[in-house]
Amino acid sequence: MADKKMVESITSMDTDFAQWYTDVVRKAELADYSGVKGCMIIRPYGYAIWENIQKDLDRRFKELGHENVYMPLLIPESLLQKEKDHVEGFAPECAWVTVGGENELSERLCIRPTSETLFCEHFRNVIHSYRDLPKLYNQWVNVVRWEKTTRPFLRTSEFLWQEGHTMHATEEEARKETLTMLKVYEDFFLETLAIPAVVGRKTEKEKFAGAMETYTIEPMMHNGVALQGGTSHYFGDGFARAYDITFTDRDNKVKYPHQTSWGVSTRMIGAIIMAHGDDNGLILPPKVAPIQVVLIPVQMQKPGVLEKTAEVADKLRRAGIRVKLDDSDNSPGWKFSEYEMKGVPVRLELGPRDIENNSCVLVSRVSRAKTFASLDNVVSEVETMLASVQEELVHRVRENVASKTSTAANYDEFLDCAANRPGFIKAMWCGDSACEDKLKDVTGGVKSRCIPFNEEKISDVCVCCGRPAKHMVIWGRQY
């Protein structure tokens, strides 16, 4: 009974992971489909997670001196085309506005797939002197990319994200910013989302369109598949040259500033679902959970039960904990399942027996173990359990990553890992993108995830071609 699957309406992970994902999204009321392909309705429970993500990240950005701005939704085609690599990268997935009111537009307008070009146009007007630098801008917006196949949160035609765009007087400073923001993402994934993840540099082939360097955070999902969780790019002065952004430096010389951009999106909600969830549904990391503790009165028709539960809810709320008291007339059993499905980290049960003992029952969503807590120190007991849920989630993800990471010293081992061991493969690489192409081809989709910062030396030669190796690369399949 203890291990019995409590929620029958969710397909089990082992049966069909993709179906499990879709079931969780729907049953936990995170999102719904809309009339436009690839555009999803983010429901209140899903949006509340996003709001908590925003709050946390926004604070981290602002602590580092970034300011929020808002750029237009529409980009004139001519503006988009100024940077060659960039436009080539994004043109295939742009949505265009060609008619305004009743009239054909003289120039078509792209619905932003990302806003580098708009920021550049603006930077050109506001950056003239070294005193104008750095510019540390960020915006929270929606973008549109006309994706061919879509899945809620993971790949949608329209998605929400933040995009940071910064300009710096020197290359050093811009490069530092790129890495600083990657670190912000790494910390956020670990501390807030409870997802320890690999960070590193993208290979030439996997770089962002127009970037000199792209850094990435690569969390692993429960089934071993990677999800690009966020990226941070160093652009050099390429865009500045293309968009004619210059400033006069201290030495009275006209120079091009150095640029970065970095972003994370609603895809992170997909990462939360797939990194932490189980067969009973969602498991939310406490720091972003819209409801951290659900209070379920038991035998609530008995006098005093509801009042006592409300009193406890109030006490927790005053301590800054996000609580929900479910006094609907569904049975307690129904409520247990419902909030497990929705991933609420801690459940608090309170019935007549508990009231007699001045206690309550606390249940962790991760272990589902019941413990009794005295009502006198219920706040600290709940806080302790929330903290332990956070720790357990981190621990579980670490274990999963460790058990699904293999090492391949040669070509045959690589093929064996790709075919039989889901997850990451560590292997040496010569630096030639032809080898990346070949490995992806022969394995049916295993790609380089990144060159991690802490490289290991597995052998001297490239796992694919046998020439001298330049780097250890982490390989894997991705969403």
Partner RNA sequence: CGGGGUGUGGCUCAGCUUGGUAGAGCGCCACGUUCGGGACGUGGAAGCCGAAGGUUCAAAUCCUUUCACUCCGACCA
**Considering only residues 221-260, where is the footprint of RNA by CB under 7 A?**
228-231
Cβ at position 298, least distance to RNA in Å: 4
Q: Which of residues 270-289 bind RNA (CB under 7 A)?
A: 280
Cβ atoms of 345 and 329 within 8 Å: the answer is: no
Are β-strands 40-42 and 31-33 bridged in parallel, bridged antiparallel, or unpaired? Answer: antiparallel
Cβ at position 232, least distance to RNA in Å: 11
Backbone φ and ψ of 140, nearest 5°: -105, 110
Which range touches RNA (CB under 7 A), out of 32-40, 57-65, 416-424, 460-468? 32-40
Nearer to RNA, 130 or 161 (CB): 161
Q: Which of residues 148-207 bind RNA (CB under 7 A)?
A: 148-152, 154-157, 159, 161
Minimal CA–CA distance to 284: which of 363, 343, 335? Answer: 343
Q: Which of residues 373-432 bind RNA (CB under 7 A)?
A: none
Q: Which of residues 287-346 bind RNA (CB under 7 A)?
A: 298-301, 329-334, 336-338, 340-341
Which range touches RNA (CB under 7 A), out of 94-102, 186-194, 263-271, 309-317? 263-271
Residue of 349, 383, 392, 436 that binds RNA (CB under 7 A): 349
- Three-state secondary-structure class, residue 367: coil
Size of the site for RNA (CB under 7 A): 72
Cβ at position 9, least distance to RNA in Å: 5
Q: Which residues, at least 6 apart from 31, have a Cβ–Cβ distance to it below 8 Å?
A: 25, 40, 41, 42, 43, 46, 152, 153
Q: Indicate whether 46 belongs to the interface with RNA (CB under 7 A).
A: no
Please name every residue paired with 230 in a beta bridge, in sequence order, or none if there are none: 217
C-alpha distances out from residue 470 to 51, 405, 427, 447, Å: 42, 21, 11, 17
Residue of 169, 273, 293, 363 that binds RNA (CB under 7 A): 363
Minimal CA–CA distance to 426: which of 401, 400, 398? Answer: 401
Minimal CA–CA distance to 461: which of 405, 409, 413? Answer: 409
Please name every residue paired with 363 in a beta bridge, in sequence order, or none if there are none: 347, 370
Nearer to RNA, 137 or 208 (CB): 208
Q: What are the residue ranges of helices labelled H in 301-377?
A: 305-318, 332-341, 352-356
Give residue for tokens 């002197």: 129
Q: Which of residues 128-157 bind RNA (CB under 7 A)?
A: 145, 147-152, 154-157
Cβ at position 231, least distance to RNA in Å: 5
Cβ atoms of 479 and 154 within 8 Å: the answer is: yes
Please name every residue paired with 475 in a beta bridge, in sequence order, or none if there are none: 425, 448
Q: Indicate whether 38 belongs to the interface with RNA (CB under 7 A).
A: yes
Q: Which residues, at least 6 apart from 440, have a Cβ–Cβ distance to it below 8 Å?
A: 446, 447
Which range touches RNA (CB under 7 A), out of 15-23, 55-63, 129-137, 376-384? 15-23
Cβ at position 129, least distance to RNA in Å: 33
Q: Which of residues 433-472 bind RNA (CB under 7 A)?
A: 440, 444-445
Nearer to RNA, 112 or 245 (CB): 112
Residue of 3, 14, 15, 36 that binds RNA (CB under 7 A): 36
Nearer to RNA, 267 or 276 (CB): 267
